[in-house]
Amino acid sequence: MVNPSGSGVVPANGMKIAYETFGERGDRPLIMVMGLGASMLLWHPDLCAMLAGRGFFVIRYDNRDVGRSTHLTDAPPADLMGAMMRGDVSSASYSLDDMAEDGFGLLDALDLTAAHVVGASMGGMIAQVMAARHPERVLSLTSIMSTPAPALTNPTPAATAVLMQPPATTREAAITQMLEASRIIGSPGYPADEQWRTELAVQLWDEGPDPAGTSRQLMAIYASGDRTEAVRGIGIPTLVIHGDSDPLINVSAGRRTAELIAGSGLLIIPGMGHDLPRQVWPELVDAIVAVADRAG
C-alpha cells in the first residue's frame, strides 16, 4: 500500500482541515472530496497513487466533522426527523455551500489557484457546488455515485437501514458493522476487499467516530435542497460516474446529473455499487485523465 507524500492540518474557511497528498507538487492539482461521515482514508491510497502516476498532484482531505478536521461539537443537535418528515432544516449548522468553501480554503492554504475536483457520494454533491459557485477555480469536475437532489437517491430499504443503524460502541463492533455495510451497499459484481475494509475500520475507530458530526453533514444535504438549477449551470468539462448496481444512490441520479450538465461524459460501470472496487480503478483513472485533458 502506498503512503502519502505529504500531510498537514491547515486553517480553511474558519475550520481546521486535515489533508494528505500524493505525487509531485508541480503536477496538475486534483482534490478529492469524500462522502457522508467518511474520512479521506476511504480514498484508497493505491488509487490516489495511480492518479499521481498519471500526472496529478493528488490532495485528499477530511471534510468538517470528520477525521482530523474540525468537529463542531458545540453546534446544536441536528433534527433529522424534522427534516425528513416536515422539511424543517432550521437545525442545520451549515450547508453544502459551506463545505464547498472548505475545499477552496484548503486550496488557498496550499497556494493553489484552481484544481481538478473529484467527489464521491456527498463529496460529489460538494464538488458540484464547487463547480457551480466558482467555475474559475475548478478545472474539471468528476462526480461519482452522486446526485443533484436528495429526492433522486431512491435507496433500497436495506441500504437505508445501513445509514440508520446505531453507531458501534467497540472496535470489534465497528469492524463487523463496516463489513456488513460493505456487503449491502458494495459492488455485487466484484469481490469485496475485506482485508482492507477491516484495516480501514480499525483506522477509523482509532481516529474517533463522531455520529453527531455525520448527522450534521446529513442535515447539510437536506438544508441545501434541490440543486438542479445550479447543476444545470455548470459549464466546465465534467464526467459523471455511477455504478448500475448502486443501492444507496440509484443510477438514475447519475444519469440525471449528466443530463443537466451540457457536454458532460457519462460512465456507467456494470456491477458497481456504492463503493469503488479495485477492479474498476484503471477505467476510472483513464476517464478522469480524459476529462482533465479536455480542460487543457
pTM of the model: 0.96
- Assign residue 185 a region (left: φ > 0; alpha: ψ between -120 and 50; beta: otherwise): alpha
Cβ-based burial of 5 (10 A; exposed 0-12, middle 13-18, buried ≥19): middle
At residue 26 the predicted structure's pLDDT band, cuts being 50, 70 and 90, is very high
Q: What is the mean pLDDT of the chain?
A: 95
Interval 262-279 mean pLDDT = 97
3 state SS of 119: strand
C-alpha cell, 184:
449491502
Comparing 57-61, 206-210, 259-263, the range with the smallest average pLDDT is: 206-210
Per-residue pLDDT at 164? 84
Domain extents for the chain?
6-154+210-294
3 state SS of 96: helix
Per-residue pLDDT at 216? 95
Which class does domain 6-154+210-294 fall in?
alpha beta
Quote the CA–CA distance of 179 and 128 in Å, as a whole number.
30
Quote the CA–CA distance of 296 and 290 in Å, as a whole number.
10
Per-residue pLDDT at 4? 76
Note the Cα 53 to chain centre separation in Å: 21
Per-residue pLDDT at 132? 98
pLDDT in tens, 92-126: 899 999 999 999 999 999 999 999 999 999 999 99
Instruction: With beta carbons less than 8 A apart as the criterion, state whether 245 and 189 touch.
Output: yes
At residue 85 the predicted structure's pLDDT band, cuts being 50, 70 and 90, is confident
Handedness of CA 37, 104, 68, 98 (dihedral sign): negative
Per-residue pLDDT at 80? 82
At residue 81 the predicted structure's pLDDT band, cuts being 50, 70 and 90, is confident
